[in-house]
Amino acid sequence: MPVDKHANMEEKLWILEDLNMMYIRQIALSLQDSDIQKKIDHEIRMRDGACKLLAACSQKDQALEAAKSLQTCSTRIMAYMSELQRMKEAQVMQKVTRRSSDAGPMDDRLPCKGKVAISDLRIPLMWKDTEYFKNKGELHRCAVFCLLQLGEEIFDTDMVIVDRTLTDICFDNTIVFSEASPGFELRVELYSCCSEDDYSAGSTPRKLASKLSSSLGRSAGKKLRAAMEPGPCSPVSNGGGAPLLLPVPSVPGPKYHLLAHTTLSLSHVQDSFRTHDLIISGNEECSYWLPLYGSMCCRLAAQPHCMTQQMMSGCLKVKQQCGGDPQSWTKVHAVLKGTSLFCYYRQEDVEANVEPAFTIGINKETRIRASEKDPLSKVQNICISNHYGGEEVTHTVTTDGREETHRWMEAFWQHFYDMSQWKQCCDDLMKIELPSPRKPAPITPKQGSLYHEMVIESSDDLSSTVSDILARRMQELELRSQLGTSPTWMSAFEESTARCTGRSRHCTRMSGHSPCTPHRLPRSPVSPHRCPQLGLLSSDASLTSDSDSHCSTSPCSHHHGWPEPTSSYSLLSSSPSRLRPRTLSLDAKLSTLRGRGYGGGGTFQCSCQPPPSSLLAPLPISSCSPRSQHSTQTTLSCSSSTSSNSSSNSEGSHSPESSEGGPFSRPSPARRSLRNLRARLDPRNWLQSQV
């Protein structure tokens, strides 16, 4: 039975939708305003396209983006429809009033419009510490974006994926609304959608729904469950009191929900960052929930047109301040803009960007009045008085004719009115940076997080990367164990850097400060083959400030360009242990794999021996520690440390292995404790200690 009801509802909704469309078209026609109708049509087409895309796409990112466009289109359609309705109503009202009474000319002055720009949106999050220990190590991700609406203009920001490694949601877009009146209301809405694999129409996880319904008692739970699962007919967002004009077709796929909203107006405009409160809808049980701190920072700037455009310009005659005979009028071309009346000698100066002859301030303190008629010219003068530092300065201005004077007075009045309406925006011109048309440099996949200093760009082939790392560690360990302590080895590396001719020319000192460009080099017998090892420094160095090894390479997937493993293989007689390549989940934070003693990788190349032609290709793949550990970096550290000689490990010195790599390097106690601390502080690690 319920299924039938739903089907019926859907049909009815479609019919309603068609009717609505006809109605809208009628209104648009009657208003003879094809502009809005074109816009509506455009948006509807976009929306249909988004629906189709959503139904067709398979990748999560695409689906999220399509759902976002769908959301934006729907909101725009609603806005246009409301606008249409308003216009229609206004028209009807006008007709009525015209008939009823002869309304005089409108006395109301309209303030000038302006540009409003909102940028650098940042919404802080407040994760509980339990968040780090939930979800079995998988990140609970949400896709969020902001919808900004001012009047008729609706813009959306880019979509950002948020998980618990982020402390803030940052939107880098600058959104500029071009026609805003001073009484504007900028509505900011934050939509979020859970980015898990379950994209069923009821976005609440089933388990939760059933749990709730079972724990709350049958009837209450059922009601709650029904409430939580959005029915097929609920519109995604019903802006305020706008009637349900066009129900959104229910499409499979991710659905965005309103998470928070706020409304900004003129009082929030300032030339710097400000924090505003958010009204949060939704609660912890929703799948799209994010723990918002409750506020939002942004920069809201406004440029009224009276500040940026010429409100009035024309020829004026200005009498100089220091009294004198009426003949000492200066003829100028005056431009009223912003907080001044710029007076140029000639009109061409304006375009030529020459400095004006003089400037008369027109601001809130200025007083303008028309003086009595000049007996000679029978034209009223305009007196402009300002207070400059305690002194009152008056400029007397006159024009050619009465209409001109009238127009100028009108312009001044309008200007004053604008300034009174736009209030603080007229004190100084606020800068609005227009977003550059070019797309900025590719965004790093993950935003910075507090707990990871380093982001690894190259993440194409993780499994080979990982086995690569393990292999290198292996070699390095064995080398160390054979050749003694590392520090001397390091020095050997550095010395031989100078010694090795041609070979190590490319060996810059891998002090971790120099990111080398990754080379993808073919096998060539010449020195370039050295570079791959350096090329492994694909990421920046803030790697390990406290790392003992100055060589901090980072995992990189360019190990193919590394034909010669390391000449030191010739030294190693035995490389018995082979590492099994591991496939780790993408969650493997390779960034926490400090390149401990990757100097090994670097040192190898500088034992000035001709590199053997034998390849690394039989990468030592060992089945040393056949444990199938799920934990990420711990796996690597454990396996590597096991593969090293147990004697070196069983030092008894406590060193947490979690993200630090095995104790094959001998850090100084101070460094070790720092590292320990950092490892311990990282809540995402599962600490292991050696006893």
Partner 1 sequence: MSFVPGQPVTAVVERVEIQKLRQGENLILGFSIGGGIDQDPGQNPFSEDKSDKGIYVTRISPKGPADLAGLKIGDKIMQVNGWDMTMVTHDQARKKLTKKREDVVRLLVTRKSLEEAVKQSKGCYHKP
**654 forms part of the interface with partner 1 (CB under 8 A):** yes
- State the Cα–Cα distance between residues 244 and 257, nearest whole angstrom: 17
Binding range to partner 1, per CB under 8 A, among 8-16, 185-193, 352-360, 630-638 = 630-638
Q: Quick check: 299 and 120 in contact, CB under 8 A? A: yes
**631 forms part of the interface with partner 1 (CB under 8 A):** yes
Q: Which of positions 195-234 make contact with partner 1 (CB under 8 A)?
A: none
Q: Which is nearer to partner 1, 272 or 628 (CB)?
A: 628
**20 forms part of the interface with partner 1 (CB under 8 A):** no
CB of 133 to partner 1, least distance (A): 4
CB of 195 to partner 1, least distance (A): 19
CB of 688 to partner 1, least distance (A): 4
CB of 584 to partner 1, least distance (A): 13
What is the x/- site pattern for partner 1, positions 132-171, by CB under 8 A?
xxxxxx----------------------------------
Question: Pick from 651, 668, 677, 681: which binds partner 1 (CB under 8 A)?
Answer: 651
Residues 6 or more apart whose CB falls under 8 angstroms from that of 42 comprise none
Q: Which helix (H) or strand (E) covers residue 11, if one does?
A: helix 2-31
Residue type, 229: E
Q: Quick check: 551 and 633 in contact, CB under 8 A? A: no
Tokens describing residue 526: 């010449």
What is the x/- site pattern for partner 1, positions 659-688, by CB under 8 A?
------------------------xxxxxx
Site of tokens 């003694």: 484
Backbone φ and ψ for 393, nearest 5 degrees, come out as -115, 130
Chain mean position to CA 341: 41
Binding range to partner 1, per CB under 8 A, among 207-215, 235-243, 484-492, 652-660 = 652-660
**657 forms part of the interface with partner 1 (CB under 8 A):** yes
- State the Cα–Cα distance between residues 508 and 513, nearest whole angstrom: 10
**626 forms part of the interface with partner 1 (CB under 8 A):** no
Residue type, 642: T
CB of 656 to partner 1, least distance (A): 9
Q: Which is nearer to partner 1, 23 or 132 (CB)?
A: 132
**Alpha helices (runs of H) in 340-450, residue ranges in sequence order:** 347-352, 402-422
Question: Pick from 198, 627, 668, 681: which binds partner 1 (CB under 8 A)?
Answer: 627
**691 forms part of the interface with partner 1 (CB under 8 A):** yes
Binding range to partner 1, per CB under 8 A, among 57-65, 84-92, 454-462, 632-640 = 632-640
Length of the chain: 691
CB of 213 to partner 1, least distance (A): 24
Binding range to partner 1, per CB under 8 A, among 47-55, 222-230, 443-451, 646-654 = 646-654
Backbone φ and ψ for 262, nearest 5 degrees, come out as -160, 165
Plot region of 450 (φ>0 → left; ψ -120 to 50 → alpha; else → beta) = alpha
Question: Pick from 192, 533, 554, 649: which binds partner 1 (CB under 8 A)?
Answer: 649
CB of 660 to partner 1, least distance (A): 13
**394 forms part of the interface with partner 1 (CB under 8 A):** no
Binding range to partner 1, per CB under 8 A, among 19-27, 43-51, 329-337, 647-655 = 647-655
Q: 401: which DSSP letter?
A: S
- Three-state DSSP class for 494? helix
CB of 630 to partner 1, least distance (A): 5
- State the Cα–Cα distance between residues 575 and 558, nearest whole angstrom: 23
> What distances in angstroms separate CA 247 from CA 220, 250, 589, one per listed residue?
28, 9, 44
What does the radius of gyration of the chain's CA atoms come to, in whole angstroms?
35
The β-bridge partners of 587 are none
Tokens describing residue 79: 């806005």
Site of tokens 């090994």: 600
CB of 678 to partner 1, least distance (A): 15
Q: Which of positions 328-357 make contact with partner 1 (CB under 8 A)?
A: none
- Total number of residues binding partner 1 (CB under 8 A)? 34
Question: Pick from 254, 306, 638, 675: which binds partner 1 (CB under 8 A)?
Answer: 638
- Between the two ends of the chain, the Cα-to-Cα distance in Å is 65
Nearest to 63 by CA among 137, 155, 161, 138: 161
Angle between helices 2-31 and 34-56 (to 10 degrees): 150
Q: Which is nearer to partner 1, 394 or 688 (CB)?
A: 688
CB of 457 to partner 1, least distance (A): 26
Backbone φ and ψ for 520, nearest 5 degrees, come out as -110, 95
Question: Pick from 263, 642, 671, 674: which binds partner 1 (CB under 8 A)?
Answer: 642
Question: Pick from 128, 630, 673, 677: which binds partner 1 (CB under 8 A)?
Answer: 630
- State the Cα–Cα distance between residues 381 and 630, nearest whole angstrom: 87
CB of 229 to partner 1, least distance (A): 28
Binding range to partner 1, per CB under 8 A, among 31-39, 479-487, 492-500, 636-644 = 636-644
**Alpha helices (runs of H) in 548-629, residue ranges in sequence order:** 599-605
Site of tokens 């034909």: 563
- State the Cα–Cα distance between residues 110 and 108, nearest whole angstrom: 6
CB of 626 to partner 1, least distance (A): 11
Question: Pick from 653, 668, 677, 681: which binds partner 1 (CB under 8 A)?
Answer: 653
What is the x/- site pattern for partner 1, positions 99-138, by CB under 8 A?
---------------------------------xxxxxx-
Q: Which is nearer to partner 1, 95 or 627 (CB)?
A: 627
CB of 140 to partner 1, least distance (A): 12
CB of 19 to partner 1, least distance (A): 53
Nearest to 69 by CA among 43, 39, 88: 43
CB of 281 to partner 1, least distance (A): 30
> What distances in angstroms separate CA 331 from CA 196, 317, 347, 409, one per listed residue?
72, 4, 11, 18
Residues 6 or more apart whose CB falls under 8 angstroms from that of 472 comprise 598, 600, 601
**Residues within the interface to partner 1 (CB under 8 A):** 132-137, 625, 627-632, 634, 638, 641-642, 646, 649-654, 657, 683-691
